[in-house]
Structure 1
């Protein structure tokens, strides 16, 4: 049974430092038994980065109607009427990204972004700064919390989570100059200034496959493919925390690597010269 003190010691041994801004992806099952459970893991992470540090996570929304309204799919009027509006203060997190995220959302001082499907949460000294504005249409690219994570010199930590969980690589997809990027549309219910539910249409890059070759069922997407290449290149710190194989990665270096990896293979064809 791991204790909070042991976790902090191992996180520091992996390379986490006081003052770090770090995006966390965690599998509590892989981490193993921890005294105090998920809440104590959150406290250990906060202790590891200290009062000047900041934790961040991609939490999404457990009631996101992304799949139900994807690319023109229409919900019935009854379903639209019953669907709750997204409220970043109370909305639950998508459990497919791990139970730890729900505890981060409920941590004292937590700040959550206003994008319902690509919702991010942060806790710590720079939480408001890194979350900032998060508009529909800017889920993962310029103007998103991911861009601020990178520009602020942040890190990415996996605690037993698979490498296909590295959300920051969606930012690399967004800024890479590629031909034929896939886009999707969907609808989400938001609260207007008067507190009324309003359904809004969003258009974003396809986070499930930025190009057709990465959207084939049963095959790895670009995030997983790039992350594995990055780790194989020896650019990530690795070690064990609890029972979990963990990685600590520099967000700027990872995004730079991912952008170049994509552009080398799928760059926009040069335009013909015309005088």
Structure 2
């Protein structure tokens, strides 16, 4: 019999101590809002935000303080948007990290709850998106796998449409954000997390398509398993794409707390990705 070694999880206290040790002074709602303003965040901004919370340093109030700082920076006419994806609402035959036994697949397909914007938690997105989606007044889009949540003056209109067969294209909140002149804000997060590049991917020539499946709730609240076809979404080369995008000179960089932060126009980044991806992915056409 092959022995299975126990998985050693990080010690939360040790992780917290590491963050404290590299933070010269507590980060606060006020200090983070000031840093965001210095970076270039303006009143009325619509921001698609990706955050690595620990990169900011030790924050008094954690994700709550960061969300409040973001709202302070954009003001009452601004809007904050975050991805609130639920990737495990998918066909178990595709799972790899980890996989599950084949004999479980039919049970999962038959029994997994349908996506409910109000109740379904985010999956692997971090503390801040999960906190924002439950914030009073937050709006969440309808896609059962790749939803977004928003707070602010334009939240409802920006997230109103999210077609099942358009995870990241122009019939998704990303398309609405691009049309609204939104900007992307990366707070300690890398370009591999930049969902704006998926909009360019969806628009690009030669984008292959794939069949997907998930559990949904119909108009009567009945749960059902459904499948659909959409363009491939693949972020494995987004770090290289992001480096090329930053080298193009349309990115403003600075520090927010202890984190390196970047801010840039969402539609411009998507248009850059739209041409870069076909030229750098084998098998994609460039015409």
Q: Same fold (TM over 0.5)?
A: yes
For normalisation by structure 1, the TM-score amounts to: 0.86
Change over 3 Å in CA distance of 1:243–1:86 after alignment to 2: same
238, 258, 266: which one pairs with 1:243? Answer: 258
Separation in 2, partners of 1:5, 1:269: 47
122, 131, 136: which one pairs with 2:150? Answer: 122
Change over 3 Å in CA distance of 1:74–1:154 after alignment to 2: farther
Matched, 1:195 2:195: no
Q: Contact 1:70 / 1:184 at 8 angstroms: preserved in 2? A: no
Number of the residue aligned with 2:130: 102
Separation in 2, partners of 1:264, 1:76: 37
Between the two proteins, the alignment pairs up a number of residues equal to 254
Number of the residue aligned with 1:33: 58
RMSD over equivalenced CA pairs, Å: 2.0
Separation in 1, partners of 2:150, 2:286: 39
For normalisation by structure 2, the TM-score amounts to: 0.83
Deviation for aligned residue 1:21: 0.4
Q: Contact 1:70 / 1:185 at 8 angstroms: preserved in 2? A: no
1:42 partner SS: helix
Deviation for aligned residue 1:175: 1.0
Matched, 1:182 2:211: no
Residue range with higher mean Cα deviation, 97-106 or 149-158? 97-106
Q: How does 1:29-178 map to 2 (within 5 A)?
A: 29-61=54-86, 63-66=88-91, 68-70=92-94, 76-95=105-124, 97-178=125-206
CA offsets per residue over residues 156-208 of structure 1, 9 Å max, x none?
00000011111011110111223xx3322221111112211111102122212
Change over 3 Å in CA distance of 1:74–1:199 after alignment to 2: farther
CA offsets per residue over residues 97-147 of structure 1, 9 Å max, x none?
322100110112111011011111111100011111212111111211001
Matched, 1:230 2:258: no
Instruction: List runs of 5+ in structure 2 lacking aligned partners.
Output: 1-25, 96-101
245, 251, 260: which one pairs with 2:275? Answer: 260
CA offsets per residue over residues 50-77 of structure 1, 9 Å max, x none?
11000111111264225x1449x99643
Instruction: List runs of 5+ in structure 1 lacking aligned partners.
Output: 210-219, 271-275
Change over 3 Å in CA distance of 1:77–1:261 after alignment to 2: closer
Q: Contact 2:279 / 2:286 at 8 angstroms: preserved in 1? A: no
Residue range with higher mean Cα deviation, 41-50 or 256-265? 256-265
Separation in 1, partners of 2:79, 2:242: 23
